[in-house]
Amino acid sequence: MVNWPCILKLDGDDELIYLDSEQQLLSECEDLIFSQDDYVIDSQGFSYSISINNASAELINNNTQLTVEEVTALIQAHEFSFAEVCLIKIQFVSVSDAIHALKPSD
């Protein structure tokens, strides 16, 4: 079971996409061309590959759980691409906290 929210990690790109729900993933699927190496990380750190079929997306558990350190490193690389945040200050207690930090402010 996927624990929302999640982040979408595109292969070859440091940018991460915050996904609030499965519906938002489906919306992103309409706009993006996916690679077989793209994956979703849920709020517990579990990694899922993406299978696109017709107008739906299926998340397939990779049986891999990323640590808070691994997710933090992805977020640091993401923020570095914007050059707006001091990377040393980016630290999180949990994967869930890390993913919530990427939520766009309204």
CA 66, CA 52: separation in Å to the nearest integer?
A: 23
Q: What DSSP state is assigned to residue 104?
A: P
- pLDDT (tens digit per residue) in 14-36: 989 999 999 999 888 877 778 88
* pLDDT over 60 at 87, yes or no: no
- pLDDT (tens digit per residue) in 75-86: 888 877 666 655
CA 91, CA 93: separation in Å to the nearest integer?
A: 7
pTM: 0.80
